[in-house]
Structure 1
Amino acid sequence: MGNRLNPEQRQQHLAALAEEEFDVVVIGGGVTGAGIALDAASRGLRTAIVEAQDWASGTSSRSSRLVHGGLRYLYQLDFRLVAEALHERGLLLNTLAPHLVKAQPFLWPLKTPVVERTYSAVGVGMYDALSFVQTGRSVPPQRHRTREGAVERFPDIKADSLVGAIEFYDARVDDARLVLTLVRTALEYGARAVSRTKVVSITRGPSTRVTGLVVRDLETGDETAVRTKGIINATGVWTEQTQALAAPEAGLQVLASKGIHIVVPRDRIRAQTGIFLRTEKSVLFIIPWQYYWVIGTTDTAWHEQREHPVATSEDIDYVLEQANQVLAKPLTRDDIRGTYAGLRPLLQPHRSSGAKTTKVSREHSVTRVAPGMVAIAGGKLTTYRVMARDAVDFLLGKHEARKRPSITDHTPLLGAQGLEAMANQSDRIGGIYGWNRTVMTHLLDRYGSELPELLELVDDDPGLAAPLGAAPEYLRVEVARACVAEGAQHLEDILVQRVRLNSEYRDRGAEAVDEVLEIAAPLLDWDAERCTHERENYLARVAAELAAEEEPDDRSASQARMQASDIVPTDLAGPIEG
């Protein structure tokens, strides 16, 4: 059936939307929607997924990039929720996506020697115990550190900011790559998937049951009627807008909360672990990656346009201030090589009546919008699989769900099977292609056992083995891979979601644009005029994003960001109501 996302596949799947009848159509291409598509397709349901923007272009590419149990829920005594998240963390680490999800140690600095260490140790101890019960020993247990021990693990920590620390483990993931892999794995099991395609109406039969929907190809403006027995709305902060197409007064209410992150060079902070801090407003993570640190987050209400949330000058100052409370060498704005902001969909009191039509957890809720259509919102990246299972079960109903149970708890994602054997070939492959161990680690962590598909591209064009001139952490072949297998349709798709220079470089990838275009243009059949349009549009986006960072508040920052036109207009950027 194939698992590649590319222009040819997109055209084929657009045609299939018109020709086939589906058991379920998923609206929304973030981690929840992608997980639902995989869950449904792997049960044998005829499945399609549509996304109005690029895959993972909303919240699911702008998270803290963590897979975690949620220590803060222990202090709310929500043991079930923590156990659920830890179970999912273990599945991702051990079975589903060990190439994408990596165990990550963190220090929790302690400020008082007895009381805080005691209750923190109990909390983290319960965290470890719940993790062990759920998945066995998927990560090492907590360790207590003296002040000296903490400084040894994190040399750039401010020694007088702590009396000791607890070292514990969670995990990290490239959120956008996880989404792309979920979509492609769904394709492996027969799903149809089309991005840059917006739902413009939902059709209902005489009995008021949903019978289909109409989608508009935003690249061409063409509309297609799609027949389906069921619809699952997984559009995050657009939940109300989407469900109103079927039933304006029913469904879920969702508000948006903004979280921002800054990115600083890896060599700017000397440490072997990350940092976890509880702040007055939220929590702060200082998270190490191979080439950089991600630091965040914030938690503030957002009332501006939905499509392009941005970090303000005040947001950046707040994150720097919080981080500098524990860093011996304070960070400044000159250290920042990137920023990004995302919107969390926060569930509000339910609008529809009757508990029989709704399944609610502390983190997410599934409800019936209309006969044949359900909506799901809330939750977090770590528990995407549980959300997906709940949504499909709810759509099917108890009887049918028992006949077609979810199997995603033991269905590895693409790149996971054969990972260990592929990793054992690392030195041999690196020797053939001239890549050192750092490069091989980077490639295995992104592509896993699918690495041979990249090697085939290099075999056909040896020049693709070289690093990008302006961004040597990435190879030229990764741009090619984004075009031929990962669904990139525009320059911004490559630089934002796939080769993530937009958030990892201070110029947001501007210097790499010409080289990326040189690689992408022949693969996507772009002529000189199209290349010029893609270049100008992306550079305008960069200028608007950099300008927004200098603004003091959400309103002015949002207005600055909206000075750049979208490469494909979606009409999704309207202000949030309420």
Structure 2
Amino acid sequence: MSQPSALGPAARERALEALGATGVTGELDVLVVGGGIVGAGTALDAVTRGLSTGLLEQRDLASGTSSRSSKLIHGGLRYLEMFDFGLVREALEERGLLLTRLAPHLVRPVPFLYPLHRTAERPYVGAGLVLYDAMARLGKYDMGVPAHRHLFRRQVARVAPDLRTDHLRGAIRYYDCQVDDARLVLTVARTAAAYGAQVATRTRVTGFLREGERVIGVRARDLESGRDLEVRARVVVNAAGVWTDEIQEMVGGRGSLDVQASKGIHLVVPRDRIRSEAGFITRTEKSVLFVIPWGRHWIIGTTDTDWNLDKAHPAASRTDIDYVLAHVNELLKEPLDHEDVEGVYAGLRPLLRGAREPSSKISREHTVVTPVPGLVMIAGGKLTTYRVMGRDAIDAAAHALGSTGTTARPSITDRVPLVGAEGFETRTNQRVALARRAGLHVARIDHLLGRYGGLVDEVLDLLAERPDLAEPLPGAEDYLAAEVIHAVTHEGARHLDDVLTRRTRISIETFDRGVHAARRTGGLMAEVLGWDHARVDAEVDHYLRRVEAERQSQLKATDQEADEARVSAPDIV
């Protein structure tokens, strides 16, 4: 790699200086707008083809949809029923690629039970899973997970003691994969930076630069300092997801993408509330219900409803939460209630609207268009296929680049491991020695390896320099103080929200939503970012207001009421 991948404060300043100087030093080949998984993946695809690349994100990396998904890397079993075989095959190939080659440190297999309520379901569901596994096995990359297996009622009771079996005919166990979605985005962005991409967060695009019809760059504002800059590029790629319509408006409504935001909410409950060695998946009348193992927790979701309110902070209503609880309780011997819920989060899927159909029926296919010369727009898709989306976006950009005399080589991201993949297996084999050297329990090293992979040495080096950073955060014992410092120095965290909601998942994994950890976390960030006491107070106060606004929104019956409660705590910038 040509340069360090760290996304600290100095790296952000260098990126902004380089991007702002493009009018003098020469335009970029590709500028990507949007720091979610698609934008990060597009930037990585571009820079590894030899193109000079920049990435602008108006808030934090993964601050929108890409940190609020079901956190699954999967083929999309339900799309087989829609006969969307191409999408399923593509997603299964990407699942195998991520698990075995690109991100084995972040992506891991997870078993699921598909409960069978009627005898006739077994051949129907079984045939679907035979096809699912066959597509994965016959794809271009390793399958990476075990094949499905039929279970009868007694076997189900052993695997999942808390699953109701009185009305079951058995179940089928199959495997998909999961990932911390926010960490995947961060890792893709760090990999792009390591190969030379200029990555700048908290920088909002305010308009386009034009020569006649052609887009030649963007006007942007650094939201941290308030300074304005112009970034020139031969091609601008919009990967703004649910904000696609706003970008289309900036080019005078020129664009053919009709993106519908669909809200999905998830609940997080402690692992001991449901005794099971596997997750569950079942269909509801409106969506698919997942119960997903997540460390010492379960993630339960999801809903699938149109959302036309605030896109930055979609709110989960009491009605949403009741819906998920009611459906999961149909599966469980001991029902869950609101007191069991540690965390709640809501995300928006950027669905490409076709005919007037409910969002739960819209495919997750993606589309790339070039509405005006110099501008490529991509929308739709899903987390699992981000790499394919980035490749397709840069393929489209390559046509425009060709007219300027710049040649883009073919995509190679299927052969570019993400940072942290290298050294992961070696460090895993050395886990006992690492624990002894750092004075930590082996389970703590395992947790760090699952978050940082081969980059775990960055955190362990901090501990060697400052043993006091080995202390866990108050009220969030899964995370060390060193991880807060690392989040700022290496992972681009600029605000308390960034650390508590995305670099860690404290905001959804603790009953207090991270309130007790906020002050200590803010103080640690201040050491790196130079905050004074007043600034720490402001960051903590904002976070507490955010938590309270979310709690209030989750008591409201309707989306409109929930949205009004949530937006009462706006972003700190």
| Deviation by residue 1:351-380 (Cα, 9 ceiling, x = unmatched) | xxxxxxxxx996111001210101100000
Aligned equivalent of 1:82? 88
Aligned equivalent of 1:532? 537
Identify the match of residue 75 of structure 2 among 41, 65, 69: 69
TM-score, normalization by structure 1: 0.94
Q: Is the 8 A contact 2:51 2:408 kept in 1?
A: no
CA distance in structure 2 between the partners assigned to 1:525 and 1:445 by the alignment: 30
CA distance in structure 2 between the partners assigned to 1:182 and 1:514 by the alignment: 30
Aligned equivalent of 1:27? 33
Q: Is the 8 A contact 2:351 2:363 kept in 1?
A: no
After superposition, the Cα gap between the structure-2 partners of 1:307 and 1:76, relative to the gap in structure 1 and judged at 3 Å, is same
Equivalent position SS for 1:430? helix
Aligned equivalent of 1:373? 375
Superposition deviation, residue 493 in structure 1: 0.8
CA distance in structure 1 between the partners assigned to 2:543 and 2:412 by the alignment: 41
Aligned equivalent of 2:461? 456
Identify the match of residue 441 of structure 1 among 440, 446, 462: 446
Mapping 1:197-208, distance limit 5 Å: 197-206=203-212, 208=213
Identify the match of residue 277 of structure 2 among 268, 272, 278: 272
Mapping 1:93-492, distance limit 5 Å: 93-113=99-119, 115-134=120-139, 135-206=141-212, 208-349=213-354, 363-397=365-399, 404-492=409-497
Count of aligned positions: 557
Equivalent position SS for 1:230? strand
CA distance in structure 2 between the partners assigned to 1:106 and 1:402 by the alignment: 45
CA distance in structure 1 between the partners assigned to 2:142 and 2:224 by the alignment: 48
After superposition, the Cα gap between the structure-2 partners of 1:122 and 1:349, relative to the gap in structure 1 and judged at 3 Å, is closer
Q: Is the 8 A contact 1:251 1:375 kept in 2?
A: no
Q: Does 1:520 align with 2:525?
A: yes
Superposition deviation, residue 77 in structure 1: 2.1
Report the residue type matching 2:53 in the other structure.
T
| Deviation by residue 1:157-195 (Cα, 9 ceiling, x = unmatched) | 011131100000000000000000011100011000001
Superposition deviation, residue 518 in structure 1: 2.3
Superposition deviation, residue 136 in structure 1: 3.4
Report the residue type matching 2:566 in the other structure.
R
Equivalent position SS for 1:238? helix
Report the residue type matching 1:148 in the other structure.
R
Q: Which runs of 5+ in 1 are unaligned?
A: 351-359, 569-578
CA distance in structure 2 between the partners assigned to 1:566 and 1:361 by the alignment: 32
Pick which of 393-402 and 293-302 moved more.
393-402
Report the residue type matching 1:296 in the other structure.
G
Aligned equivalent of 2:65? 59
CA distance in structure 2 between the partners assigned to 1:77 and 1:230 by the alignment: 35
| Deviation by residue 1:474-507 (Cα, 9 ceiling, x = unmatched) | 1111111111101010111111111211122222
Aligned equivalent of 1:511? 516
Identify the match of residue 556 of structure 2 among 539, 548, 551: 551
Superposition deviation, residue 9 in structure 1: 1.1
Q: Is the 8 A contact 1:247 1:370 kept in 2?
A: no
Q: Is the 8 A contact 2:114 2:173 kept in 1?
A: yes
| Deviation by residue 1:75-102 (Cα, 9 ceiling, x = unmatched) | 1222221110000000000000011000
After superposition, the Cα gap between the structure-2 partners of 1:89 and 1:137, relative to the gap in structure 1 and judged at 3 Å, is closer
Q: Is the 8 A contact 2:266 2:302 kept in 1?
A: yes
Equivalent position SS for 1:523? helix
Q: Is the 8 A contact 1:184 1:414 kept in 2?
A: yes
Superposition deviation, residue 405 in structure 1: 0.5
Q: Is the 8 A contact 1:291 1:473 kept in 2?
A: no
After superposition, the Cα gap between the structure-2 partners of 1:227 and 1:537, relative to the gap in structure 1 and judged at 3 Å, is same
Q: Is the 8 A contact 1:161 1:326 kept in 2?
A: no
Superposition deviation, residue 435 in structure 1: 2.2
Q: Is the 8 A contact 1:143 1:167 kept in 2?
A: yes
TM-score, normalization by structure 2: 0.95
Equivalent position SS for 1:159? coil
Percent identity between matched residues is 50
CA distance in structure 2 between the partners assigned to 1:244 and 1:304 by the alignment: 18
CA distance in structure 2 between the partners assigned to 1:496 and 1:403 by the alignment: 37
Aligned equivalent of 1:573? none
Report the residue type matching 1:473 in the other structure.
D
Q: Which runs of 5+ in 2 are unaligned?
A: 356-361
